[in-house]
Amino acid sequence: MKKTITFFITLLSLASFSQQDSHISYGFESNSQYYLDDSKTGDFLESNRFRSNNFFKIDYYYKNFYVGLQAESYEPKAMLNYSPNLDKTNLGLYYVGYKTNKIAFTLGHFYEQFGSGLILRSWEDRQLGINNALRGGRVKFSPKEYLHFTSFYAKQRKGFAVSKGNIVGFNSDFDISSAFNFENSSFSAGFSYVGRTQERTETNFDYKNSTNLFSSRVEFSKDNFYSNLEYVAKGKDAVIIQNQIKNAKKGAALLANFGYAKKGLGINATFRRMENMNIYSDREANGNIYNESVVNYLPALTKQHDYLLTNIYVYQAQPQVSFQDPSLIKSGEIGGQLDLYYKIKKGTFLGGKYGTKIALNYSSWHGLKADYDFAGFDYETEFLGFGQKYFSDLSIEVRKKWSKQWNTIFYYVNQSYNKRYIEETFGEINANIFVSEATYKMGKGKSLRFEAQLLATNDDKKNWAGGTVEYNATSKLAVYINDIYNYGNDNVDQQIHYYNVGGSYTVGAHRFALNYGRQRGGLICIGGVCRNVPESTGISANITMSF
């Protein structure tokens, strides 16, 4: 391992010394935490109070060639609730490649996405502990500037190892309007194939070693209007319920999107239906809580909120088949969301001197309407039928600049969260959340920001209140303090303050941050993907550096 690193680095440095057409980019990220005992939430009972996740990535470019690697270190242990496969220090990624505008080759690890990712996406999210990069060979070929092909054969990264299953992919994108010189509109189409091959287990259910997925999509835009449509068909694959194969079923996804945008106004509507759409590079990975071995990207299509109290009840997409008990069966989800952005002009009564910006979002998600056979682990869905409601969310944001010094944001959210179906536990929550934020600029990078939040509900843990004060002393140095307080909890012992204080210092592309506080347990969601984290108290340090 160490020899490999030395070898790479020697290679890189030699190359960089000798050549003019070369350049290097590297980045370092370190996230560490020292966990403390807490008189309110309990002692730290795991091993290793100090834990640290570290990443070092380097890329070297010479003419059309590139080579790179990412070393990762989880020492003495990864932070709480990361996959046990992320352990100790090792090479996470390594790759070499050649790229021109016509053709590109990659050997080693690579990230890839076909279409919107419904059929295939590999990506990295260090905070969530996700890295499902593919390791193998990839060729990209663009014979014309309107025609692009990609194909690859790979295994998928899992911890520092790779999947048992093999993945083969083919993608084509055809920009029809460029090919035929359409003047006023744009029209493009795409087609993808993804196959996952893994030896099947001996069962009576009818599925093969290979599972095939096909995606077709079109995109059209004219003047201020735009739309796109994607359909994915997934071939028969084992349905795994609580680690046992209980059936073999097909899957499908349909995504439709329409939008209209002109200066000062934007509207977007999305509809999506997914049935049994999970696909993992290893079948056994089905439903794992670390998001490992995930081949495709099925995020919740809801607004990603920015405030602490708006992120307590976060929806997660429900593409999977689940048979918990006769009253809790799932086979997918159906629903949509609507976005509206509007700018009230400067100089009008509501617009004031600087204009007022309004953003509205509504999303609603349901289970599929289906005939379920609990004993036989089987179902028959209706194509456009809406079943049990899982989630809805309505939010309104008003941003207003009052003067050169004052900026405010008002934010209101109404949420309905069916915890029983989403988390497969119990309960249903209806909540109203109010947030107001004000920023006061004092010039020369000095500014003060206040946030007040309230979550009102009669369900679950009842009411919460929260606040933040952030002070930017210069454009480099910032300190903050925040607290959310579950003051409405029926259990007095559970009326806990989750407070945090911290600061950050930024120099150019480098940032150093320190934080002390108590973290609320539960789902931490980034980019529509969630990870369950335990309640914890401690001191954390984060360093990110880019060169």
Partner 1 sequence: MKKIVFLYLFSFSATCFSQKKIPNINVTTLKGKSVSIESQLSKDKVTVLVFWATWCVPCINELDAISDVYEDWQEETSVDLIAISTDDSRTQKRIKPMINGKGWEYQILLDKNQELKRALNITLIPHVVVLKGNEIVYRHTGFAPGAEDELYEMIKKHSK
> What part of residues 7-36 is at the interface with partner 1 (CB under 8 A)?
9-10, 12-13, 16-17, 20, 22-27, 29
DSSP 414-468: EEEE-HHHHTSSS--EEEEEEEEEEEEEEETTEEEEEEEEEEE-SSTT--EEEEE
Q: Which is nearer to partner 1, 187 or 205 (CB)?
A: 187
Residue 283, amino acid: R
DSSP-derived 3-state class of residue 149: strand
114-143 binders of partner 1 (CB under 8 A):
116-118, 121, 123-124, 126, 142
Q: Which stretch binds partner 1 (CB under 8 A): 263-271, 274-282, 422-430, 484-492?
A: 263-271
- What number of other Cβ atoms are within 10 A of residue 355's Cβ? 17
Q: Are 131 and 142 in contact (CB under 8 A)?
A: no
Closest Cα partner for 416 from 388, 435, 397, 436? 388
Binding mask 80-119 for partner 1 (x = CB under 8 A): -------------------x-x---------xxx--xxx-
Q: Which stretch binds partner 1 (CB under 8 A): 276-284, 293-301, 320-328, 372-380?
A: 293-301
Binding mask 198-237 for partner 1 (x = CB under 8 A): ---------------------x-x----x-----------
Q: Which is nearer to partner 1, 307 or 377 (CB)?
A: 307
d(CA 526, CA 298): 13
456-475 binders of partner 1 (CB under 8 A):
472, 474-475
Residue 261, amino acid: A
264 binds partner 1 (CB under 8 A): yes
Applying CB under 8 A, the site for partner 1 has a residue count of 99
Q: In this structure, what token pair is assigned to residue 450?
A: 């206040």
Could you give phi then psi for residue 6, rounded to 5 degrees? -60, -45
Q: Which is nearer to partner 1, 444 or 490 (CB)?
A: 444
Cis check for the bond before 143: say yes or no (omega within 30 of 0). Answer: no
292 binds partner 1 (CB under 8 A): no
Could you give phi then psi for residue 13, rounded to 5 degrees? -70, -40
385 forms bridges with which residues in the sheet?
none
Q: Which is nearer to partner 1, 123 or 214 (CB)?
A: 123
Q: Which is nearer to partner 1, 360 or 533 (CB)?
A: 360
Q: Which is nearer to partner 1, 375 or 507 (CB)?
A: 507
528 binds partner 1 (CB under 8 A): yes
Pick one of 134, 248, 277, 300: the residue that binds partner 1 (CB under 8 A): 300
Q: Which is nearer to partner 1, 203 or 509 (CB)?
A: 509
265 binds partner 1 (CB under 8 A): yes
Q: Which is nearer to partner 1, 154 or 239 (CB)?
A: 154
DSSP-derived 3-state class of residue 502: strand
d(CA 106, CA 444): 47
Pick one of 4, 244, 509, 532: the residue that binds partner 1 (CB under 8 A): 509
447 binds partner 1 (CB under 8 A): yes
d(CA 211, CA 278): 12
The alpha carbon dihedral of 366, 367, 371, 372 has a sign of negative
Q: Which is nearer to partner 1, 419 or 441 (CB)?
A: 441
246 binds partner 1 (CB under 8 A): no
413 binds partner 1 (CB under 8 A): no
- As measured in angstroms, the least distance from the Cβ of 112 to partner 1 is 7
d(CA 457, CA 464): 9
Binding mask 44-73 for partner 1 (x = CB under 8 A): -------------x-x-x--x-x-------
149 binds partner 1 (CB under 8 A): no
Pick one of 137, 235, 287, 299: the residue that binds partner 1 (CB under 8 A): 299
d(CA 140, CA 418): 44
Q: Are 64 and 40 in contact (CB under 8 A)?
A: no
DSSP-derived 3-state class of residue 370: strand
Q: Which is nearer to partner 1, 175 or 275 (CB)?
A: 175
- As measured in angstroms, the least distance from the Cβ of 509 to partner 1 is 4
At residue 106's C-alpha, the angle toward residues 104 and 111, to 5°, is: 105
Binding mask 338-367 for partner 1 (x = CB under 8 A): -xxxxx----------xx-xxx--------
Q: Which is nearer to partner 1, 25 or 209 (CB)?
A: 25
- As measured in angstroms, the least distance from the Cβ of 234 to partner 1 is 17
Can you tell me which residue has the tokens 């992919």?
169
23 forms bridges with which residues in the sheet?
61
75 binds partner 1 (CB under 8 A): no
Q: Let me know how long the chain is.
A: 547
Q: Which stretch binds partner 1 (CB under 8 A): 155-163, 417-425, 426-434, 509-517?
A: 509-517
**Residue 182 DSSP one-character state:** -
Q: In this structure, what token pair is assigned to residue 157?
A: 């990264």
DSSP-derived 3-state class of residue 17: helix
